[in-house]
Structure 1
């Protein structure tokens, strides 16, 4: 489960979420779909932890496949849910996904399968958040892992990435991923498909904010880890975007 230094990953198919551990305390980053709650509970048991060890919940953005069981954990633990101010209102509404992009591609085998996983795991019964705390660009959160907030709008207005500077880890959310969400293909750093972004041109521009980070282990919202210099990752993603367009 430990996918990088003190960061644990849970296998929920194409939907990634993480636990950051620091001195026995935990920060939950994203929360899949409601049906993934049982995976979360089992994961805590395997780590020898319980919900009482959760001190914070951070959402990289307010799409349903990242909000998932966050409200349930918030109520259980009293842990604050952090989201960028640009997505705060969206986080408190149900059924937030790029539906046009997904449904218009439902003829694709992988997209149809992904939509099926979403339905089986409760996308239509997802409890929206009732209380959030907002974060802003450059903010260093005093929670386990001490992540630095990097505001990278485009996929959504409030999309963020989390930089764990001392561990050289970037949790990139959907700012930059390593899985094509229309074909399922795993590979190099890439933007999510234009039709799945709120503002694709802005998403491309936001990548420049990651160039100076240096060598990291990049953990994305969709796909497998990528290790290397973020300037190279950005160049690869932008080159891939030319082929997409």
Structure 2
């Protein structure tokens, strides 16, 4: 099924604080997701979208009868422009931001220029439309994060929901996923997504395409997919487009 490229208004209308799992809410715009985890002690924001998404976040909070002050932490799957846009504005509001230790330096210093592979893929019309949509919502205007907390593989974060860190490098060196074992919810970031951004087609969960042109390391991407396959049955919440439910072990042979 080809994903229509005029779905932006639909996503804003239909996926502003949509409960996609028990106590987990999806905020989606320009096919880019943020999620709110509701715990007894407040909210955790998973990924921070783009700079123009503050209105989307506030609308989602309003829908679940909360506000900015209820967010106790921002946790980032990785440091990419479409995942960190609100991180520094929220940090300025006193909300701590968490990143994997391998992403700390980039978070503090800023992203710099896009990799050369970014431009080598611009001949693909669907990819160009996707990037254009991100730029419309402020990609390139994100701020470095002035102060971050770091986590490591296997750590259970002391934030609402208490997600477990699974290091899933490949798309980016410091990429990680977050796991809620009791509810079997997996925040996969861009380790596994349900959109092929090169063609604009919906897919079963897969690593971001583009090989080493667009990713840090294709081989690591595949290793991370097999690592996540060991979780088996999951509710997978990707960094882009629609959630997916099923057995990852049926898609990827688990890592040895």
Name the TM-score, length of structure 2 as normaliser.
0.87
Q: Is the 8 A contact 1:95 1:123 kept in 2?
A: no
* Structure (1 or 2) with the greater helix fraction: 1
Q: Does 1:216 align with 2:234?
A: yes
TM-aligned CA deviation for residue 99 of structure 1: 4.0
CA distance in 1, matches of 2:112, 2:103: 11
Q: In the TM superposition, what is the alpha-carbon distance from 1:89 to its structure 2 partner?
A: 0.8
**What runs of 5+ residues in structure 1 fail to find an aligned partner?**
239-245
In structure 2, runs of 5+ residues without a counterpart are 1-17
Measure the CA separation in 1 of the matches of 2:172 and 2:89. 23
- Give, in whole Å, the separation in 2 of the partners of 1:184 and 1:48: 34
Is 2:90 the counterpart of 1:73?
yes
Residue 114 of structure 2 is aligned to residue 111 of structure 1? no
- Aligned partner of 1:42 in structure 2 is 59
Alpha carbons of structure 1 residues 158 and 178: separation in structure 2 relative to 1, 3 Å = same
2:80 is matched with 63
Q: 1:97 Cα deviation (Å)?
A: 7.7
Alignment match, 2:139: 123
Q: Shift in Å at residue 13 of structure 1? A: 2.4
State whether residues 64 and 96 of structure 1, in contact with CA within 8 Å, keep that contact through their aligned partners in structure 2. no
CA contact (8 A) 1:151 1:161 kept: yes
Please list the CA deviations of residues 92-121 of structure 1 after superposition, one character each: whole Å capped at 9, or x if unmatched. Answer: 233468543332222322212222122222
| Closer, same or farther: CA 9–89 of 1 in aligned 2, 3 Å | same
- Indicate which of 179, 193, 204 corresponds to 2:222: 204
Distance 1:97 1:185, change over 3 A: farther
Give the conservation status (yes or no) of the 8 Å contact 1:91–1:129. yes
Tell me the secondary structure at the aligned position of residue 234 of structure 1: coil
Q: How does 1:77-116 map to 2 (within 5 A)?
A: 78-95=94-111, 99-116=115-132
1:138 corresponds to 2:154: yes
1:158 & 1:186 partners in 2: Cα distance? 26
User: How many residues in Structure 1 have an aligned counterpart in Structure 2?
Assistant: 236
What is the match of residue 229 of structure 1? 247
1:29 matched to 2:74? The reply is no
Q: Deviations over 1:139-196 (max 9, x none)?
A: 0011111100000111111110000111110000111111101112112111111132
C-alpha separation in 2, matches of 1:101 and 1:222: 20
The aligned residue for residue 3 of structure 2 is none
Higher mean displacement: 92-101 or 209-218: 92-101
2:15 aligned partner? none
Q: What's the RMSD between the two structures over aligned residues?
A: 1.9
